[in-house]
Structure formats: C-alpha cells, structure tokens
C-alpha cells in the first residue's frame, strides 16, 4: 500500500508546508497532486477524511492554520527507504579503523 506525505498551501504566508502526517491509501497519485485532483471522481478514503480540520504550523510565522480547500492540500508519494546490511566482516566492533589501536 503506497504511503504519502501531506503538504498544504499556507493561509498565513502562501508557502507550502508539510502537515507532518503520512498516510497509506490504496488508490493515490503517482506524483505530487492535490487531493481535489486525485479524488475528483471518487469518494475520499477515510484516511484523508480523518485529516480534515487538522491544524498545520506555518513555518514562517509560527501560527497554526487549517486549510479547508482540497485544491490546496497535496499528496506526495513517500520515497521508499532502503537499508543496506553490512557484510559480516564489516559488522564487527570496533570498526576496522580502530581495531589496531585498542
């Protein structure tokens, strides 16, 4: 299930700020898109309905605001994080750089 970060256009300063919320939805846009555009012909998933009236902090003014216009609330696909597992010989402690000095 794809995960999205939510961004909103600020009523205070006009910039776009992160809402600080990530959601998982079955159907969502492939690229950044407003909620209005992404769900114009289908009903909003409950995860998106749950963020209505959620306050967001303006990072420039420090004031909280609520964005009600779905054209000004954006879903942005979250980048998949990959984790590299070290090779067994590299995973030991202390690191190789310090093994000779201890």
Share of the chain above pLDDT 90, in %: 41
Short-list 79, 84, 63, CA closest to 17: 63
**Is the full-model pTM beyond 0.75?**
no
Please, is 90 exposed, middle or buried when counting C-beta atoms within 10 Å of its C-beta (0-12, 13-18, 19+)?
Answer: exposed
For residues 10-31, average pLDDT? 89
Degrees to nearest 5, angle at CA 43 with 40 and 49? 105
Distance, in Å, from the CA atom of 36 to the CA atom of 48, rounded to the nearest integer, reads 11
**What residues does 55 pair with on adjacent strands?**
66
More confident residue, 1 or 82: 1
Distance, in Å, from the CA atom of 28 to the CA atom of 18, rounded to the nearest integer, reads 18
Please answer whether residues 31 and 7 qualify as being in contact, where contact means their C-beta atoms are separated by less than 8 angstroms: no
Residue with tokens 């492939």: 30
**What residues does 76 pair with on adjacent strands?**
5
Q: Indicate whether 102 pLDDT > 60.
A: no
**Each residue of 31-74: pLDDT tens digit?**
899 999 999 888 888 988 988 889 999 999 999 999 999 999 99
User: What's the pLDDT band for 87 if we cut at 50, 70, 90?
Assistant: low
């Amino acid at each position: 299930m794809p995960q999205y970060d939510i961004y909103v256009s600020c009523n205070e300063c006009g910039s776009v700020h992160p809402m600080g919320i990530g959601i998982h939805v079955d159907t969502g846009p492939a690229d950044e898109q407003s909620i209005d555009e992404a769900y114009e012909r289908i009903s909003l998933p409950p995860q998106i309905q749950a963020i209505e009236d959620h306050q967001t902090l303006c990072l420039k003014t420090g004031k909280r605001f609520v964005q009600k216009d779905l054209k000004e609330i954006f879903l942005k696909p979250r980048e998949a994080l990959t984790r590299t597992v070290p090779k067994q010989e590299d995973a030991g402690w202390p690191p190789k750089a310090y093994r000779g000095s201890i």
